[in-house]
Amino acid sequence: MVALARGPGDGDLIDYAAMLSGMFDRARFDFVHVLPPPSLQLDRAAATHENHSDVLARLSADVARKFGAAQEVRCKVLTGDRVDTLLEYAAGAGFDLVLVGHRRSRSGRRSLARRLAMKVPCSLWLVPEGSPARITRVMSAVDFSEPSAQAVSAATLVASRAGLAECAALHVFFDEALAMYEDTRAADRVDEAGFSRFLSPLDLHGVRVTKIFAESPTVSGASLRRVEEDGIDLIVMGTRGQSASAAILLGSESEQMIIESPVPVLVVKARGERIGLLRALLDRDFRDVDSPRFG
């Protein structure tokens, strides 16, 4: 599912989706735009002289310019609350992936992408406005958990489909107690053998994984330095995933990466991570992610 806002960034998002369609030639795409609820929609339609049919026709024309007739593509215009409607459609249609954009000119904390990533029952791929439709260097963040193992496998799959021979795996460490002892830092924090054991059972899709160790108080900070220094143009991360309810939540580092990253971010969820979705849709605590309880 590709969530379109009918704004300046839509062209970049459609281009990116077209690139992915070339990498995964059997993929099916639904391009979806959500109109406001009826009471608000009437005011908007009066101001713009557009109706549901007009919006669908323009959306279909924009997509058709990038996608060939042989590719399986659908365009949908829905009505309702934007986040809830996208979630309901994604859950009902059984998508594997949701693509969402973000305009660089907009201030804020990318709340749409964060809310969808928290609740959607599949992986989410954030594509900031202006992101080139190409993948040349992929990096996955690793903490030796099962979610990060899924992320590494997904990162190598994308790298393979993009024709890349290697993919970076970044492990970030920080321990204030060990930081006091310079002579123990390397032995206790940089475990090459442990990293290799973590990678050994994974399907790496024939791609060589380059191990990177970095000391930093945050994964996002270390990752963004690699983006700048190494030209990374895709970051792959897992969800927190340590309990049943966590299947619909993000870890704080994944959420921070969505907020800060200037390049596309793929947040990977395993198939079947649907536990608690309907409860989350109805729960005001989950819906208001910008409230103080979420920091």
| 3-class SS string, 199-266 | HCCCCCCCCEEEEEEEECCCHHHHHHHHHHHHCCCEEEEECCCCCCHHHHCCCHHHHHHHHHCCCCEE
Q: What integer is the mean pLDDT of 133-160?
A: 93
Mean pLDDT value across residues 168-179: 71
Q: Which domains does the chain have, with CATH numbers?
A: 2-128 (3.40.50.620), 138-279 (3.40.50.620)
The beta-strand segments (E) located in the chain are 2-3, 29-35, 73-79, 97-102, 123-128, 138-142, 166-173, 208-215, 234-238, 265-268
Q: Looking at residue 169, what is its pLDDT?
A: 95
Q: What value does the mean pLDDT take over residues 223-248? A: 75
Question: What pLDDT sits at residue 288?
Answer: 42
pLDDT value at 287 more than 50 = no
Overall average pLDDT of the 267-283 stretch: 50
Residue of higher predicted confidence among 44 and 244 = 44
